[in-house]
Amino acid sequence: MTTQINSARLWNDIHESGKIGATEKGGLCRLALSDEDRRVREWFVEACRAEGCEVRFDEVGNLFARRPGRRSDLHPIAIGSHLDSQPTGGKFDGILGVLAGLEAVRTLNEHGIETEHPIEIIDWTNEEGARFAPAMQGSGVFAGALEKETVLSCRDREGLVFGEELDRIGFRGEEICGDHPLDSYFELHIEQGPILENDKKVIGVVVGVQGMRWYDLTLEGSASHAGTTPMKLRRDASVAAAEIITAVNRLAEEIGEGALATTGVIDAYPNSRNVVPSRVFMTVDLRHTEVEVLDRMEERLKEIVSTMGSQHQVSEKLDRLWDSPPVKFDAECVGVVRESAKQSGHPLREITSGAGHDAVYVSRVAPTAMIFIPCKDGISHNEIESASREHVGAGTSVLLEAIRLRDRRWG
Ligand SMILES: [Zn+2]
């Protein structure tokens, strides 16, 4: 029997928390380690303590609220996400995943349900990366992907230091970041894209996060007079760039199977209306869930660039500057999410995350899975970001049942 969460109570929590850092347009401005971040943390800690949870935080401010299990020798099953937001963010991104954990604990308490494992709710510090860069710093240090000292000493645009701001809001803990074994980690999040909504599905069983590769491309031709240089004698960098852009777009279509290719930046030099452009700088972003496919896409990109370069007699320089490999979530954890989603009766589908999440880093150190629910028109990182109360409730019920399945099986 599925235990019913109280979706009205959860909805109320989301809107209570949304008052802290509320913007005029109904969104949130709750930057990491700001006064608003402190206030929402204090509000959250009080709510967790009222449910009998023991609250701890580590040296980068990651916050852990633990509901004891029957067996103290087992590591906790964790539910988490982040309470910080973009400067013009929404009420659901991240917040849902943390408050769903609180609702899960409240439901267990209300029904007097004991678990074998302790259950933990986690608020990761600075997921958004809007004030301090890069993003996902708390979970990144936790997983050993980012250096603690680098994070503690990084500065915002006003020159304020992460570690000093953490002290100022009173959330620097004693616990060594990462010295905190987890049995498993589950994160509920809005999709931040249009796939579930378009497909009329309520639950996304997230199987992984796609990989991405970033490239810089510079094309070098020759500047000449637009009125005196015959077409045949030109070395026009922007014509080569135009052909590359359309070929890169076709590349994704040729590869198919969810491949994405984008030319996001294009700068032409000297950028003058009566000069044949001598140089173009552009960027390419390739994404896919499989490394082998990314490799094929990269090979194809190199071919395109060299073919178009020689056709238009421009030299080309292609550099890969970032490679973020695809993540596949833990099969057992994804399995309990799928099972729980099926039991719930809500329409579901498997989905791959196009965006990064704390779960990406946590998956390096603990078995991990994610659950998505639709967000209105696929819009996120925007004050108008919205999700329905029904979907919020459905996602949280699926989350609670998934951790109970995990608890029963891995006791
Ligand atoms: Zn988020």
Q: What is the mean pLDDT of residues 355-381?
A: 94
Residue 127 CA to ligand 1 center (angstroms) comes to 7
Residue 369 CA to ligand 1 center (angstroms) comes to 15
2 has a pLDDT exceeding 80: no
As a whole number of angstroms, the distance between CA 98 and CA 187 comes to 8
Cα torsion at 324, 326, 327, 331 (round to 10°)? -170
Contact 21, 110 (CB under 8 A): no
As a whole number of angstroms, the distance between CA 119 and CA 130 comes to 30
Residue 161 CA to ligand 1 center (angstroms) comes to 23
Give pLDDT, residue 411.
52
Residue 3: which pLDDT band, with cuts at 50, 70 and 90?
Answer: confident
Q: Which of 333, 6, 335 is nearest to 185 (CA)?
A: 333
Terminal alpha carbon distance of the chain = 19
Residues 6+ apart with CB under 8 A from 173: 56, 57, 58, 59, 61
Q: What is the mean pLDDT of residues 5-33?
A: 96
1 has a pLDDT exceeding 80: no
167 has a pLDDT exceeding 80: yes
410 has a pLDDT exceeding 80: no
- DSSP-derived secondary structure letter, 259: -
Q: What is the mean pLDDT of residues 182-206?
A: 97
* pLDDT tens, residue by residue, 273-308: 999 999 999 999 999 999 999 999 999 999 999 999
As a whole number of angstroms, the distance between CA 67 and CA 51 comes to 8
Question: CATH assignment of 7-209+326-409?
Answer: 3.40.630.10
Coil vs helix vs strand at 209: strand
Residue 101 CA to ligand 1 center (angstroms) comes to 15
24 has a pLDDT exceeding 60: yes
Coil vs helix vs strand at 92: coil
Residue 116: which pLDDT band, with cuts at 50, 70 and 90?
Answer: very high
362 has a pLDDT exceeding 60: yes
Domain ranges of the chain: 7-209+326-409, 211-324
Give pLDDT, residue 257.
83
Give pLDDT, residue 323.
85
* pLDDT tens, residue by residue, 310-353: 999 999 999 998 888 899 999 999 999 999 999 999 999 999 99
Q: What share of the chain has pLDDT > 70, as a percent?
A: 99
Residue 137 CA to ligand 1 center (angstroms) comes to 13
Residue 112 CA to ligand 1 center (angstroms) comes to 31
As a whole number of angstroms, the distance between CA 154 and CA 138 comes to 13
366 has a pLDDT exceeding 70: yes
CA 194 to chain centre: 15
The encoded tokens of residue 50 equal 């009222």
Amino acid at the residue 273? R
Residue 192 CA to ligand 1 center (angstroms) comes to 9
Residue 304 CA to ligand 1 center (angstroms) comes to 36
Q: Which of 60, 96, 155, 100 is nearest to 357 (CA)?
A: 96
CATH of 211-324, one of 3.40.366.10, 3.40.50.300, 3.30.1180.20, 3.30.70.360: 3.30.70.360
Residue 126 CA to ligand 1 center (angstroms) comes to 10
Residue 87 CA to ligand 1 center (angstroms) comes to 13
Residues 6+ apart with CB under 8 A from 12: none
- Stated as kind and residue range, the H or E segment containing 319 is strand 315-324
Residue 156 CA to ligand 1 center (angstroms) comes to 20
Q: How many CB atoms lie within 10 A of CB 275?
A: 15
Contact 188, 395 (CB under 8 A): yes
Report the mean per-residue pLDDT for the chain.
95
Residue 261 CA to ligand 1 center (angstroms) comes to 23
Q: What is the mean pLDDT of residues 178-194?
A: 97
* pLDDT tens, residue by residue, 230-265: 999 999 999 999 999 999 999 999 999 889 999 998
Residue 55 CA to ligand 1 center (angstroms) comes to 22
Rounded to 5°, the CA angle 83-87-88 comes to 100
* pLDDT tens, residue by residue, 45-99: 999 999 999 999 999 999 999 999 999 999 999 999 999 999 999 999 999 999 9
**What are the backbone angles phi and psi of residue 166, rounded to the nearest 5°?**
-65, -40
Residue 384 CA to ligand 1 center (angstroms) comes to 15
Residue 83 CA to ligand 1 center (angstroms) comes to 9
Give pLDDT, residue 356.
87
Cα torsion at 122, 26, 194, 401 (round to 10°)? 40
Q: What is the mean pLDDT of residues 162-173?
A: 98
Residue 311 CA to ligand 1 center (angstroms) comes to 44
Residue 189 CA to ligand 1 center (angstroms) comes to 7
195 has a pLDDT exceeding 90: yes
